[in-house]
Structure 1
Amino acid sequence: MSTELVIQKQDTETHRCTLPGESWNVVSKFIDSGLFVNFRRALKRYTMISKHHPYTRIYAPSLNRLKQEEKLHLIEHYGLIHPLSMFSLYFDIYLCIFLIFHFLTSPAIYALTTNDDQNYIMLPVNVTYAVTMIIMFRTGVYNEKDNTVSLKPRDIAISYIKSYFFLDLSSFLPQILRLIPLWKRIPDQILLIISPFLITSRYIRYFWCLKTFNLIRLYFGFSSFVFKAFRLTITIIMMIVLGVYILYALVLSEEHYKFNRFLKHSEITMKLLMNVGYGRIIVISHRILGPILSSTFLFIGFIFHVTVLVEVNSIWVRFFGVENKQTMVYESISAYTKYKALPVSVRDRIYLYLEFKYHGHFYKESVLTKATAGFLRREILLASTKNYLENVSIFRNIPNHLLRKLRVNLSTEIFLPGDVIIKAGSRGKSMYLIIVGTVSVTSEKDVEICQLTDGSYFGAAALTLNIARIVNVIAVTPCELFKLERSKFRSILKNHPQIYSEIENNIAENVLLALRTDNLDTKAIY
C-alpha cells in the first residue's frame, strides 16, 4: 500500500483540486506536439479505457485505478485498443446490429439470388468481416470471469483464434472460392452441399451477439425483464429463419427457386417447427428422405417449444427476482423523496450510494450474513482485507496471528463525494484504509495538503492517542473504506503490551514532529 503524497491534480465533478502541479491528464503528456494535437488526443482517448463503459466500474472502480490503467496502456501498448474503451463499445454495438440484420436476411439472399448477384449484395458484409478481423487483432481482451484485461498481442491473437477467427474467415470462403478456376469444375450438387455449411457456420457468432445484448442493456440502462424478453424474441425469429434456410438448402434439386416457391416452403417449415402441421416437404419427391426430414424438424420444433417455455419461465422468475426488487427500492426512494419534498440532489445521492455499493446487483447483506456460518464470515473478511494491514508501516512488526485478528475486526463504510470523513478538531476513535476511491486531506484552514487513493490509510493516531484531529479528510469520489476502531484494536493487543507500546510511541513521535515543525505530511495524518 502506498502512503506517499499524491501531488498530481485529480479534478472531479464535485471537487476542484488546489494542489500545485499539472492536472493528471495522461494523454496530453504523450501527445504534446505535431499536427492536429487536440484531434489526436481525442481520438486516442476514444481507444483508451473509459469510465462510461459498463464493465469499467467493475474492473477499475476508483479514479486512481482508472488513471493507472491509462498510463499502462500508453506506455506499454500504445498502438492497441483497450477492450473497455468507447471505441470498442460502439464497434461491438454496431457489429451486433449488423450481424443480426445479416443473419435475418442472408437465408433469403442465398436461396433466391444467383452467384453473380450475391457477389455484389454481400460486398458490404465481406468488408465488415474484414474490418472486424483487423480490429479484433488490435483490441485487448477483457476476461469477465476473472475481471482481468490483457493488452499483450500474443494473448489477443490466441483469444481471437480460439473464439471466432475461423468463423469470421469462413464468411469469405463462398465468395473467394468462386474466384478459383478449380471451384468451377466441382459439380453443382457438391457445391449445394458445401455452401450451406459454410453459410450456417457463421451463425455461431450469434452467441457473441447475446453477450453484446447484455452489454447494450448495461450501457443504456434497460431493465433485465425487457432485455430477456427482447433476447427471447430475437432468438425465436433467428431460429425460425435459420431452420427455414437449413431445410431449404437440404432439399434443393436445382440452384435456386422462384420466390413464391420459397415462401410456400417457408410456410411448411414454420408449421413443422411450431408443431402445428405435418406433411411432406413440397420439394422432396423421395419417399424416405421426405418423412425423415419432416419427423426430424417436428422433433426439433418440440425441443424449440420446451426451450421457449423454460426461457419464459426464467423471465417470469426474473421479474419477481432480485433485480426487480432493486427497481422497487429505487421507485420507493423516488416516491419517498417526493412525499417529503426532499431536494432532487438528496435523491441522486441515495441513488449514487446504491449504485456504488451494489454495482447494479442488488442483494440483502443481512440475509447473506445470517445464511453463512461464523467461520465463513471470518474467511470472507480475511480474503477481502488481504494485504491491507500488512503494508501499514505501524503494523509491520505485528505477528501474523494478530494481524489476522485485526483484519477480522475491520468494518466497511461508504462515503459519497463531499462527505467529511474526518473533521479537524474532533476526537478520533478509529483509523481508515481506502479500498476504493479518492479522498482530499486539508488543513484546519481548508488548504489542500494531498490526495490519497486506493491502498492508502489515515487516522491511525486515534488507535492509541485521545487527541483532536489535526486535518480534515473529505471524500472526492465515492469511497469504500475499511474502519478499525480503537476499542477493538486495544482489545486485541491488551495481552501484548510491548507491541502496543511500540506502536503508541511510533505514532506519538510522528504527531509531535508534525506539530513542532508544522509539516503536515502523510505521517502527521496519524
Structure 2
Amino acid sequence: MDLMAFVPYSMTAPTVQHEPRVEHVCEVSPKEDPLTRTIPGSSAWSRIRRWFLGTRITSRLHPFTRWCLKSTRAIDYEISHHLKSHPYMIHPFSSFRIFWESVMTLFIIAVLLITPVFLTFYFDECAKWYMYNHAIDAMLICDIIIRFFTGHYDSRTQLVILDPRVVASKYLRDFFIVDALSVLPLEFIVVLTDSMWYLTSLNLLKILRIRTVIVYSRKLYHVYRINFHLYKIAEMGIIIVVSVHWAACIEYYLPLVVDKIAGQKDPSWIRSPYMEKRETKYKIYLTCINRAIIALIGAAQYLDVSAPEDIIYNLILSIFGFLGFVYLLARILQLMTTFHSTNKRHLKLIQQLQQYMTYKELPHSLQRRLLSYYNYRNKKGFERDKIIINHVSPYLREKLLLHSYLRLLNNVRLFGHLPQLVVTQLISSVCSEIFMPNDALVRAGTRGDALYFIASGTVAVYNNVGKEIYHMEDGAYFGELALVIEDEHWIASVIAIENCEIYILSRSDFQHALAPYPDLLAHLQNVALARLEQTPLLKKDHEPDALPSFENVNISSIKAKKRNGMARLDE
C-alpha cells in the first residue's frame, strides 16, 4: 500500500519556518549517453535506431528496475553491460516489454473469447475465419520469438540474464511447448485436404494461453500500480468469464463433432424442438451459456441429456464446477484475510503518522517527505531484518551481520588490517540509515566522527565554497581518517541525490573495539595517513580532475597531533 496516497499534494499548503537544507541542483557534467556512444550520428536513421534501442534497454521508470537494481550506479552498469554484451536482446525491465505485455494481455483475452465462437458457430464455414486465425497465429508466433530474445531476472542470483543461449534454454525447458501447441500451423493442411476437417479442433489448445495472460497481468499489476485487491478480483473475474464462455461454446461444439463423425443418429439436445426455434446464433449462444452454468453448479437441466456425449460432458462440467467453486471460495477467503491483516497493519501505521503530523502541524511538503521515508523503509524491510537478527542465536547473528556488511568489509581497506575478532565486534556496531534526496550526510567544517559507506544510492560532494565536485555511488565510502584521528573536520559536504542506504560506523565504537590493542590503533593511524598522502580525501579514481584541494588537509598538523598523543601515552 502506498502511504503517499493519504497526503494529497497541495501547491497552496501553508508553510512553516524550518531549518534550511541544501537542495541538490546538479552541476556535474552529465555522463555520455550510452546510446549515442553505441549508435553515433545525427541522421534520421541513427535517431530511429537509438530510439528503438532505448526501448529495449533498462527503463529507469520501470518499478522492477529500482526494486532489483536499487541505485543509479547499478542501473548505469546494467545498461552498459547490456549494450556491450547483448545489444540485440530485450531487457525484462524495458519499456518495450511493458508495451508488448500490455498489448498481448488484451490481445490474448480477445483471442480466448473469439476462438471458441469461430470453432462452434462457423463449424461448417471454416473458410470464413481462416484468415483471422492466421493473423492470430502470426501474433502468437511473434510473442514466442520475442520470448527467445527477452532476458529474465534470476531471483536466486539477483542478476538479469541476457545470454541468448541461457534464455533460450530456460524457455525451451519451461513453457515453450505449451505456447507452441496453441499455434500449430495445421490450417494450411485443412485448406489443402477438406477431409481433414478435424484438425481445426486443435485450435482449442489456444485455451493454454490463459497462462500467458496470468503471467503478463501479474507483471503489469506492478507496472501500473494497480490496487492489489482490485487486481485479484479482476484476475478471478477474467478466469471465470473465459472458463464459462469456453464451457458454453464446447456445449454446442461437441454434438456437432459427434454428428460429423457418426452422423445425425443420436438424440442430442441440439436437435430438440426447443432448439429448432432458436434461429439466430445469438439465441443459440444464450442457451449454451445457460446449459453450461447449470452443469457447472450441478443443477438439473431443463433440456434432455440423453446422448452419451451430453452425459459425459455435463458430468465433467459438474466435477470442474465443484472444484472451481472450492478453489474460488479458498481464494476469496485468502483475499479477505490478506486484506484484513494488511489493512490492519497499515492502518495502524497511518493512524500513528497522521496523529503525529497533525499534532506537530507539519507542512504538506514535510508530510509527503515523511511518508516517502516510511515507504522506502517498508520496501527495504528494515523492521523485518531487525526482528530476525535480534531473535536468532549469537552465532547466527554474527553470520548474518558478516554477510550483510560483506561489501563494507571488502571495500574499506582499513578493515583489512584488523583481526577477525575485532571485525566481528565492529560489525555489530555498524548501523544502517536511510537518507532521502537532499538530506545532508555531512557538512563541510563540522567535526568528523564516523565512517560512511554507501550501500545503495548516489550522493553529491560539494567543496568548502559550495561547488559540486562529483558524485559517489554504490560501494564508495568516506570518513576513514575520522575513525583513527580525532578533532578532524570535514573538508566537503555530502548530499544525498536519491534514496540512499548508508552504513555508518562511529569513531567511538571503532576505538572502543580497538582499546585492547593500542599498538594496532597506532598502526592504523600510519596506514590512514600514508593513504591520505597518496590519495586526497573523497577521491574518485576515474575523475582525477574533480578533486578537493590538497590544501584543505594539513597532514603535518595531523602527524604532530599523533606524535603528541603518543608522547602522552608514554608518560
Change over 3 Å in CA distance of 1:504–1:284 after alignment to 2: farther
Aligned to 2:234: 230
SS of 1:446 mapped into structure 2: coil
> What value does the CA root-mean-square deviation take over the aligned residues?
3.2
Deviation at 1:237, TM superposition (A): 1.5
Is 1:269 the counterpart of 2:289? The answer is: no
Partners of 2:435 and 2:461 in 1: CA distance: 15
Preserved contact between residue 415 and residue 480 of structure 1 (Cα < 8 Å):
yes
Paired with 2:83 and 2:515, the residues of 1 have a C-alpha distance of: 50
- The answer on 1:161 being equivalent to 2:172 is yes
Q: Report how far residue 372 of structure 1 moved.
A: 4.3
Q: Is 2:136 the counterpart of 1:125?
A: yes
When structure 1 is superposed on structure 2, of 360-369 and 496-505 the one drifting more is 360-369
Q: Which amino acid aligns with 1:85?
A: S
1:372, 1:251 → 2: CA distance? 65
CA contact (8 A) 1:171 1:202 kept: yes
For 2:350 and 2:226, how far apart are their aligned partners in 1? 14
Give secondary structure in 2 for the equivalent of 1:390: helix
Deviations 1:68-93 (A, max 9, x none): 11111111111221111011111111
Residues 497 and 69 of structure 1, relative CA distance in 2, 3 Å threshold: same
Residue 412 of structure 1 contacts residue 480 of structure 1 at CA under 8 Å; is this kept in 2? yes
The correspondence of residues 66-465 of structure 1 with structure 2, limited to 5 A, is 66-113=75-122, 114-144=125-155, 146-173=157-184, 175-179=186-190, 181=192, 184-186=194-196, 191=198, 195-196=200-201, 198-252=202-256, 253-254=258-259, 259=281, 260-275=283-298, 277-279=299-301, 282=304, 285-286=307-308, 290-322=310-342, 325-326=345-346, 329=349, 333=353, 337=357, 342-359=362-379, 368=388, 371-465=391-485
Given the superposition, is the C-alpha separation of residues 512 and 83 from structure 1 closer, same or farther in structure 2, using an over 3 Å criterion?
A: closer
The alpha-carbon deviation at position 328 of structure 1 amounts to 6.4
Contact 2:24 2:495 survives alignment (8 Å): no
2:68 to 59, 69, 92: 59
Code of the aligned partner of 1:110: L
What's the counterpart of residue 37 of structure 2? 29
Quick check: 2:130–2:187 contact (8 Å CA) kept in 1?
A: no
Which of these two proteins has the greater Rg computed from alpha carbons?
A: 2
Amino acid of the structure 1 residue aligned with 2:241: I
1:292 and 1:185 map into 2 onto residues whose CA distance is: 27
SS of 2:362 mapped into structure 1: coil
Paired with 2:118 and 2:182, the residues of 1 have a C-alpha distance of 14
Aligned counterparts of 1:523 and 1:18: Cα–Cα separation in 2: 28
Q: 1:204 to 1:355 in 2, by over 3 A?
A: farther
By how many angstroms is 1:283 displaced? 7.0
Distance 2:177 2:551 in 1: 61
- Give the distance between the partners of 1:235 and 1:47, measured in 2 at CA: 31
Q: Which aligned pairs between 1:468-483 and structure 2 lie closer than 5 A?
A: 468-483=489-504
- Output the CA distance in 1 between the equivalents of 2:511 and 2:420: 17
Question: Which shows bigger deviation, 316-325 or 360-369?
Answer: 360-369
Larger deviation, residues 145-154 vs 61-70: 145-154
The alpha-carbon distance between structure 1 residues 341 and 409, as it changes in their structure 2 partners (threshold 3 A), is closer
CA distance in 2: counterparts of 1:177 and 1:87, whole angstroms: 32
Q: CA deviation at 1:65?
A: 0.5
Q: Separation in 1 of the partners of 2:155 and 2:206?
A: 24
Query: Cα 1:374–1:202, aligned 2, differ >3 Å: closer, same or farther?
Result: farther
Shift of 1:255: 5.4
Does 2:507 correspond to 1:486?
yes
- Secondary structure at the residue paired with 1:396? helix
Matched position secondary structure for 1:122: helix
Conserved? CA contact 1:48–1:70, under 8 Å: yes
Per-residue deviation, residues 442-500 of structure 1 (Å, max 9, x unmatched): 21111223321101111122212222222211111110011112222122222233332
Structure 1: gaps (5+ residues): 1-13
Which range moved further: 247-256 or 489-498? 247-256
Check conservation: 1:58, 1:147, Cα contact below 8 A: no
Which amino acid in 2 is paired with 1:410?
A: V
Distance 1:332 1:29 in 2: 51
Q: Structure 1 CA distance, aligned partners of 2:132 and 2:380?
A: 42
| Deviation larger for 105-114 or 141-150 | 141-150
Q: State the alpha-carbon separation in 1 of the partners of residues 406 and 554 from structure 2.
A: 23
> TM-score normalised to the size of structure 1?
0.85
C-alpha distance in 2, partners of 1:361/1:195?
A: 52
Q: For the Cα contact (< 8 Å) 1:224–1:323, is it kept in 2?
A: no
Amino acid at match of 2:103: Y
Q: Deviations over 1:400-455 (max 9, x none)?
A: 34333322332100001111101112122211111100111221111223321101
Name the SS for the 1:233 alignment partner.
helix
Shift in alpha-carbon separation, 1:327–1:78, aligned structure 2, 3 A: farther
2:259 counterpart letter in structure 1 = E
Q: Distance in 2 between matches of 1:150 and 1:358?
A: 27
Kept in 2: contact 1:60–1:66 (CA 8 A): yes
Distance (whole Å) between structure 2 residues aligned to residue 106 and residue 223 of structure 1 = 31
From the superposition, tell whether residues 409 and 330 of structure 1 become closer, same or farther in structure 2 (CA, over 3 Å): same
CA distance in structure 1 between the aligned counterparts of 2:233 and 2:380, rounded to whole angstroms: 19
List per-residue Cα deviations over 1:42-84 (Å, max 9, x = no partner).
3321111012112111221100000011111111111221111
Q: Counterpart amino acid of 1:231?
A: E
Distance between the aligned counterparts of 2:363 and 2:465, measured in 1? 30
Distance 1:227 1:422, change over 3 A: same
Scaled by the length of structure 2, the TM-score of the pair is 0.79
Separation (CA, whole Å) in 2 of partners of 1:351 and 1:195: 57
What are structure 2's unaligned runs of at least 5 residues? 1-22, 262-269, 271-279, 538-547, 559-571
Distance across 2 between alignment mates of 1:522 and 1:375:
42
Identity of aligned pairs, percent?
23
Tell me, in whole angstroms, the C-alpha distance in 1 between the residues paired with 2:351 and 2:37.
Answer: 45
Residue 4 (structure 2) aligns with: none
Q: Deviation of residue 228 (structure 1)?
A: 1.3
> What amino acid sits opposite 1:28 in the alignment?
T
Amino acid at match of 1:386: L
CA gap 1:266/1:482 in 2 versus in 1, 3 angstroms: same
Q: Shift of the alpha carbon at 1:126?
A: 1.8
Shift of 1:509: 4.3
Cα separation, 1, equivalents of 2:42 and 2:147: 29
- Paired residues of 1:425 and 1:468 also in contact (CA < 8 A): yes
